[in-house]
Structure 1
Amino acid sequence: MSSISKGVKGFIIAGSLAVSSVASAQLKDGLECRYLTVIEQGFLANHVKYTNRDTELQNRVIEQYLKRLDPSKIYLTQADVDLIKKNAGNVFEKTKNRDCSFLETTQKIVLERVQDRANFAKKYLGKEFKFDEKTEFAFDPEKKAWPKDANEANEYLKKYIQFQIGNYLATDMKLEEAKKNVAKNYERAAKRTQETTQDDLFSGYLDSFARALDPHSSFFSRDVLEDFEIQMRLSLEGIGATLSSQDGFTVVEQLVPGGAAAKSGQIDPQDKIVAVGQEKGPMENVIDMDLKDVVKKIRGAKGTKVRLTILRKSGEGKKRFDVTLTREKVNLEDEAASITYVDKDVNGQKKKIGIINFPSFYADSRRGGRSSAADLKKIVKEANDKKVDGLVLDLSNNGGGSLEDAVKIAGLFFQTGNVVKQSSKNEGRAESALRDTDPAVDWAGPLVVLTSRISASASEIVSGTLQDYRRAVVVGGDHTYGKGSVQSVLPIPNNLGAIKVTVGMFFIPGGKSTQHRGVDADIILPGPFSSDDIGEKSMDYSLPPKTIEAFLSPDAFVKDGPGKWTEIKPEWIKSIKERSNDRVAKNDEFKKIVDELNKAKARGKTIRVSEVLKDKNEKDKKEKAKKTASKAKKNEEYLKRPDIQEAESVLLDLIQLQEGKTLVTPKQASAK
């Protein structure tokens, strides 16, 4: 889940010592072993809970590093793991003494095992290979042990390869081509492991250190920091295309409307980029190149040119051609807040409602930069001008973002008052309150907030605050993600990246932390993410929840005048819930979701390849349709979602109640 960020700031607070230590050294272009302890200290100086390196933290770091090296547990054996742990030994003492040889030793072990599995995969996929769709295997690495030896690793790999072949066959690919692709995937894994740089090793270790503190602390390499900043400000300079890596090719997934690629009319979704060149100089082959390296070559300053060699499927054959594009500023509009207006008929009365699709809490910290709070304020003003009768704020796919924007957005719907309190590293210090200070009530009418199990962080602050003030009805998954912590992103001098560190826990006005428990929905809907595996409490080393005294502000409530808003009454929730439950029970789309959840639960620890074939084929078709659809078509599909439609129905019920009308519940209807 996206973290609540306090913005990209300096390597500050107690970490200021780390700045002077790093900055005073004569830095080379990249990380070095001697910087690791200093950067670790930057994490510990700012982290809400941890201050010292101890044995428990050391063991966690090693466990996280192993997960990073082999997340699927298909390469390393238990003997390898034991050897890596032995070599790492007293890792904190080693890094303190500028001894990072254990990282290189570990990488040699990993490379050897990746090459072993690649050789085995090639041999297994030979002429004698037979696809067996009845293959069952434990898919979740968390629920399986490391293989005892090479034989056990290879036996598991056979099942894993059957699963991979099934994925390709589900796309209507022939068996021989699927075999070649899977074998090449393992060859590429070996090649990339071999190409691992010292910078990669140090970045990987530091990220493992961060993740040993809690699930949301992390180390940002220079590339990762750049991506983070792009997402927060919703703009970049490039060609305006979303890219992915498939079978060694860089594939165009989507074109950003108004971007250079879309305006050229020469590039289509599913085109493959096989070579990249700058305005002058040779074209460079990018087949089998890591996606982040291809992206680096394509991105560039506004006004400069980039040349691409495109490979496109044409009938039964393939077409190859070159395109020259001028890079320009690209606004990532798909991640920006937007509103759709829907006209409804309720008992012969026309009602206009607004559905606000709000996928992230973005904020560009640069002067004059774009922010989600400013965008939403404009949207709400437009909704008022159009005289809508009610609003749905959709946070169901919103993983969080800017804390400052979350406070401002919650404040759009009441007068002034506390939104969130944040704890600090200092146990004796009182929590600091963040409050909305704008006296305007931008929207005073009926409000429904739509959430899901993946609504996290800033989404939980907004939904929880509006629920605590009885300002909105929360509809969606049984509860939200449960991320109740705040992170700061602190850049390291000399362009060495940044640390993202958990600096506090937050509490909503009722006094609860959303940590683990999340925000409970008033009206529960079945959702595709309603699984016990999804949520903060299932993550490694998640911090424990806490409760403080409630801190609701009387100033938030407006009883009279233009900003007057009506508090949600418990009896309203009861009536709305009865009507919603009745609609959901009759809805075929919700029935499908429940069936899928039950199927996944029954499947348990194992997965059958035949199920992959069936399920993936349907999912791939839907995903492809989404990627190639126009903006209007995407919006049409969005409005067809069962949770969106039910949120609309709940809003219409709420509008009637606030108008003083009585809702007829299913029980009352049957009694008549």
Structure 2
Amino acid sequence: MRRFFLVVALLVVSGIAAAKPVADSGMPLVLKPTADQAEAAMWAMRFLSRFHYKPVPLDDAMSEKIFDGFLDSLDGDHLFFTQADIDTFASVRDKLDDAVFERDLSAPFAIFALYQQRVAERLDFSRTLLSKPFDFSKQESYEYDREKAPWAKNSAELDDLWRKRVKNDWLRLKLANKPAKDIRETLDKRYSNYLDRVRQLNSEDVFQTFMNAYATAIEPHTNYLSPRASENFDIAMRLSLEGIGAVLQRLDEYTAIREIIPGGPAAKSGKLNPGDRIVGVGQGADGPIVDVIGWRLDDVVDKIRGAKGTVVRLEVLPDAAGPDGKHEMLTLTRNKVSVEEQAAKKSVIDVKNGDSTRRIGVITLPTFYQDFDARRRGDEDYKSATRDVERLLGELKDEKVDGVVVDLRNNGGGSLDEATDLTGLFIDKGPVVQIRDASGRVEEKSDRRAGAAWTGPLAVLVNRASASASEIFAAAIQDYGRGVIIGEPTFGKGTVQNLLNMDDMARNEKPTFGDLKMTVQQFFRINGGSTQLRGVTPEISFPLTAASDEFGESSYDNALPWTSIQKADYQPVADLKPVIPMLIARHEARTAKDPEWKGFEEDIVEAKRIRAEKTISLNEQVRIKERDEQEAKRKSREALAGGAFPNQDPAAKTREELLKDTGKAPQLNTASAGVNASGDDDSAAAVTLEDDGLQADERSIAKDLAREEQRKARRDIILNEAAQVLSDEIDLIRSNTKLAAQILPHEAAANVD
């Protein structure tokens, strides 16, 4: 889903001046490439074609792949361009390599200019449709998933597609009992905002999109990061920043406060609240206030960013005030802020089993983070996922837990060193992962610290979105026989990327060329196999992702193939094979008679069916019947589950969730790092709140946060079942010392009572 949220607590020292947004005066300014961008493309070409793990020359064949990727980034759903438009640019299809070599990027910018024009035409057409009534008694359908659909033959065909698109938007609001007047105003504003966002895209956005089309044409995990995107990537890795400590959201033409981060300057002031709108920003104690109404979100972010100890002044329109309400002035001193949302967290689940209760500790780790700069500086207190988890394990020990589940669902990876060090918390010493470079040289990453932070029963919970560093950790735990892996096969990303700062290489004094996140190595399990394409296969399988065939490494056409190397010299610490069949039998027997679980499995089947349809009826009575049936199922599920939900499918969306994408303008990869999840949670396989027909930025902040809290309040039946499985293992080993000696490390087995 395309996002419009930015964690701006994300307010770090900025080397980029905020770009002034395009004025709303008809057609946008025609964007042109800069000399610096042409030079940056040349630097990127030199590295990508020589030092990538799979170096590919920039030639006519690569040009064709870049061309297709660039079009897909602009119009992936085939909603704006016609086949005639594509034919217009056919002559440059195999000339984009020449564009880079000749330092002339006018061709991709010309394609983007036509894209902006087509967006304006489509949105203007859509707004004219709002003055006419729709006939919802007709039997017709709307194709909402057009990723693989052919380009429209002509404008007339696009007109009909957009007529159905607008009709569907109207029907969704009508089914949510909105009056016609409100529907017309909502959709007119939606389409106007869409157009504004496309008009606000700048030269840096276009260049980054073109360069990413080039990078990902080589291999899926190679990317180009503009200076701004690189900065946000750094924030995401170190989980800290210097700023005011607030999460911002675009709300109509305003930048609004969505969340206040505890402990930051905004929270300590006590004067900013969710829903407040920032209308002006000033630098220092007496710098002029710059009006930021209508600005891009990341441009406002750049204005608010600043170094620790510096002053920023905000002109704020309070949430309770109308558009003409009294503005308030707020002066804040920027400071270091910790972004704890992505930090490791702990909890305890009490699992009742007959007369006994097992206390299962849970470590939830969203990413393998590390503050690289602080570590390089020798800062002994640098932020680290492993350090945080080690501390949490100590706290869980004090709370007398019987076992630990490490929850890596939706953890897309991060630091390779952190994956190695984290594994070391659960084993004594030994190799963790093998790494092979482009020359074929293999090295080992090993845990060299004696002892383990946790030697007791262990489980690792994964899903399809557990990738990269998550797979290194899960694979090592599995190969050592250290813990049981639960969930579904992981993503299958078996490659290592390095971040190459092209400004350092070019000796630029200020950020100009950006960074390359370039694949330079492939990692292998210590058993010699690879996680590439195949991922890590759990011993206890849960059906979690309704769209697993459309998500993961195997969904990329140009993914590296699976291969293997020699196994490392290591000794498994235990053998889980004897206990796995018993755990599976208990799991199946328990879930077979559990209405929560049976409902969850039915939800997965239903989600798969909906995804396969790709169209939706535009007949009101048909939709009412479908809605009522879905709502009855949902209420029945929730009544049985007591608020449980099948958490966290990163790819599977219900049909209504897929439709929430409509009317959103693309960001063209802009500021991709640091984008916060929107209020519309598309992660649950088939359980959603009642559809209100609105986009996240069309609701009040208060209502959107309330919907988010409703989701968070639901019980996570997947995690609970993982805890049950680990509790089963504990019961089995505590009743059988011989079994305990097989499946636990020696130290832990010796302590079994």
Query: TM over 0.5: same fold?
Result: yes
| Mapping for residues 259-658 of structure 1, pairs under 5 Å | 259-279=264-284, 280-311=286-317, 314=320, 321-324=327-330, 325-367=332-374, 368=379, 369-426=382-439, 429-477=440-488, 479-493=489-503, 494=508, 495=511, 496-528=513-545, 531-551=548-568, 553-554=570-571, 557=573, 567-603=574-610, 604-608=612-616, 610=623, 617-618=689-690, 628=705, 637=713, 640-658=715-733
Amino acid of the structure 2 residue aligned with 1:474: I
Q: Is the 8 A contact 1:188 1:288 kept in 2?
A: no
Change (3 A) 1:636 1:64: closer
Give, in whole Å, the separation in 2 of the partners of 1:411 and 1:63.
Answer: 44
Cα offset, 1:598, TM superposition: 2.1
| Mapping for residues 84-95 of structure 1, pairs under 5 Å | 84-95=89-100
Deviations 1:551-598 (A, max 9, x none): 2512x63xxxxxxxxx24323111111111222233333333333322
Tell me the SS of whatever aligns to 1:293: helix
Q: Which runs of 5+ in 1 are unaligned?
A: 2-27, 558-566, 664-672
Q: Is the 8 A contact 1:88 1:102 kept in 2?
A: no
Cα offset, 1:629, TM superposition: 7.3
> Which stretch has the larger CA shift, 589-598 or 386-395?
589-598
Give, in whole Å, the separation in 2 of the partners of 1:514 and 1:169.
Answer: 48
Cα offset, 1:434, TM superposition: 1.2
Corresponding position of 1:180: 185
Give percent identity, aligned residues only.
33
Tell me the SS of whatever aligns to 2:603: helix
Q: Is the 8 A contact 1:491 1:497 kept in 2?
A: yes
Cα offset, 1:347, TM superposition: 4.0
Q: Is the 8 A contact 1:254 1:627 kept in 2?
A: no
Cα offset, 1:122, TM superposition: 1.6
Give, in whole Å, the separation in 2 of the partners of 1:634 and 1:655.
Answer: 33
Cα offset, 1:362, TM superposition: 0.4
Change (3 A) 1:110 1:344: closer
Q: Is the 8 A contact 2:63 2:94 kept in 1?
A: no
Amino acid of the structure 2 residue aligned with 1:158: R
Cα offset, 1:433, TM superposition: 1.6
| Mapping for residues 41-56 of structure 1, pairs under 5 Å | 41-56=46-61
Cα offset, 1:385, TM superposition: 3.5
> Which stretch has the larger CA shift, 333-342 or 163-172?
163-172
Matched, 1:160 2:165: yes
Give, in whole Å, the separation in 2 of the partners of 1:587 and 1:311.
Answer: 51
Cα offset, 1:488, TM superposition: 0.8
Deviations 1:589-644 (A, max 9, x none): 3333333322232231423264566976537799989974799x899847x20011
Q: Is the 8 A contact 2:471 2:535 kept in 1?
A: yes
| Mapping for residues 70-219 of structure 1, pairs under 5 Å | 70-129=75-134, 136-165=141-170, 174-219=179-224
TM-score computed with the length of structure 2 as normaliser = 0.76
Q: Is the 8 A contact 1:269 1:628 kept in 2?
A: no
> What's the C-alpha RMSD, in Å, of the aligned pairs?
3.3
Deviations 1:414-434 (A, max 9, x none): 1111211122112xx232221
> Which stretch has the larger CA shift, 53-62 or 649-658?
53-62
Cα offset, 1:318, TM superposition: 8.7
Q: Is the 8 A contact 1:353 1:390 kept in 2?
A: yes
Deviations 1:247-285 (A, max 9, x none): 444333332222233333333334443443334344444
Total equivalences in the alignment = 622
Corresponding position of 2:640: none
Give, in whole Å, the separation in 2 of the partners of 1:485 and 1:347.
Answer: 46
Tell me the SS of whatever aligns to 2:313: strand
Deviations 1:307-366 (A, max 9, x none): 334445549999654251332211111111111134444443453321111111001012
Q: Which runs of 5+ in 2 are unaligned?
A: 2-32, 628-654, 658-686, 739-753
Amino acid of the structure 1 residue aligned with 2:593: K
| Mapping for residues 220-239 of structure 1, pairs under 5 Å | 220-239=225-244
Q: Is the 8 A contact 1:446 1:658 kept in 2?
A: no
Change (3 A) 1:317 1:400: same
Q: Is the 8 A contact 1:139 1:605 kept in 2?
A: no
Q: Is the 8 A contact 2:412 2:470 kept in 1?
A: yes
Q: Is the 8 A contact 2:656 2:691 kept in 1?
A: no
Cα offset, 1:465, TM superposition: 1.2
TM-score computed with the length of structure 1 as normaliser = 0.84
Cα offset, 1:659, TM superposition: 1.8
Change (3 A) 1:585 1:84: farther
Q: Is the 8 A contact 1:416 1:436 kept in 2?
A: yes
